Amino acid sequence: MKEKESLFSPRNLKSLTGPLSAGNPVIVLVLGICPTLAVTSQMKPAIVMSLSVMAVLSIGNVIISLLRNTIPPRIRIIVQLTVIAALVILVDQVLKAYVFEVSQKLSVFVGLIITNCIIMGRLEAFAMANKPWPSFLDGIGNSLGFGFILIILSFFRELLGAGTVYGYPVFEKIGLYSTGYVDNGLMSKAPMALILVGILIWIHRSFNKDLIESK
């Protein structure tokens, strides 16, 4: 019998920390761009979105991982979708109950978590072939990597686009507006989010040269 792997073995830890940088779902795999563009104009929705994705992805990973030996390969995608959809509906109800305003702001994008390719990708690529505990860690890791990017983006977009950080009017407090500064309207539009993602990828790759594709 194989020796039991400890809960935080290097391999497990790697599935937790890998997605933060070298395997980041947004800036390396370029998945989940839709919510990245749509909900990052302010920090609050971005954080709620990250937490929602974390709940759906980690629990979904565990459920699929538990079921992985019983799911017929032919219908695995539809089973995964059912699990995700059920979880998303749960998350949606929780958001509506406790943070109604934010859930209004996120509008359709909560429902669209179902189509977030990060979730489908991790369920298909990881949970279908791994035990529940590593799958759980993988879910947490990937949603952290996703949320990390979302929070960076939303920080800059909210600061430069509206002059606030998590709703707190920073620029107004330090008196920047009286010097003639005007908020940048482009920052709160989706195209600028795409450009910012590009800049993040640029910065990230200049620190991780091995990610740069050879020509």
Partner 1 sequence: MKALRKILDNIKPHVEKGGKFSKFRSTFDAFETFLFVPDHVTAKGCHIRDSNDMKRTMSVVVLAVVPAMLFGMWNVGYQHFLSIGQEAGLWENFFYGFLKILPIIIVSYVAGLGVEFIFAQIRGHEVNEGFLVSGILIPLIVPPDIPLWMVAVATIFAVIIGKEVFGGTGMNILNPALLTRAFLFFSYPTDMSGDKVWIADKADAFSGATPLGDALIGDLDKLPSVSDMFFGFIPGSVGETSTLAILIGAAILLFTGVGSFRIMISVFAGGWLTGLLMNVLAVNSYMEMDAYYHLLLGGFAFGAVFMATDPVTAAQTKRGKIIYGFLIGVVTILIRVFNPGYPEGMMLAILLLNIFSPLIDHYVVQGNIRRRLKRIKVKA
Contacts with 3 (C-beta within 8 Å, 6 or more apart), sequence order: none
- Interaction of residue 168 with partner 1, rule CB under 8 A: no
Using rule CB under 8 A, residue 185 touches partner 1: yes
Q: For 106, how many CA atoms within 13 A lie in the half-sphere containing its CB? A: 29
**Tokens coding 79:** 């089973």
> Rounded to the nearest whole angstrom, what is the least distance from the CB of residue 189 to partner 1 in the complex?
7
Which value, in Å, is the radius of gyration of the alpha carbons in the chain? 19
Six token digits for residue 30: 């370029």
In the complex, least distance from residue 186 CB atom to partner 1, rounded to whole angstroms = 4
- The residue within the footprint of partner 1, chosen from 99, 111, 184, 211 (CB under 8 A), is 184
Pick the binder of partner 1 from 98, 100, 177, 202 (CB under 8 A).
202
Question: CB 157: neighbour CB atoms within 10 A?
Answer: 24
In this chain, which stretch among 28-36, 88-96, 141-149, 176-184 interacts with partner 1, using CB under 8 A? Answer: 176-184
Q: Confirm or reject binding of residue 169 to partner 1 (CB under 8 A).
A: no
CB closer to partner 1, 14 vs 205 = 205
Which residue in the set 14, 76, 189, 205 belongs to the binding site for partner 1 (CB under 8 A)?
A: 189
- Cβ-contact 117, 32 below 8 angstroms: yes
Nearer to partner 1, 77 or 199 (CB): 199
- 177 makes contact with partner 1 (CB under 8 A): no
Asked whether position 175 contacts partner 1 by CB under 8 A, the answer is: no
Q: Which stretch binds partner 1 (CB under 8 A): 20-28, 49-57, 194-202, 207-215?
A: 194-202
5-33 CB burial, b ≥16 within 10 A, e <16: eeeeeeebebbbeebeeebbbbbbeebbb
Of 129 and 203, the one with the shorter C-beta distance to partner 1 is: 203
Stretch that binds partner 1, among 41-49, 57-65, 99-107, 179-187 (CB under 8 A): 179-187
**Rounded to an integer, what distance in angstroms lies between the CA atom of residue 64 and that of residue 139?**
11
User: Quick one: which of 122, 115, 5, 8 has its CA closest to 65?
Assistant: 122
Q: What is the dihedral of CA 141, 137, 95, 161, to 10 degrees?
A: -10
Binding of residue 186 to partner 1 (CB under 8 A): yes
At its nearest, how many Å lie between partner 1 and the CB of residue 210?
20
| Contact positions vs partner 1 (CB under 8 A) | 180-182, 184-187, 189, 195, 198-199, 202
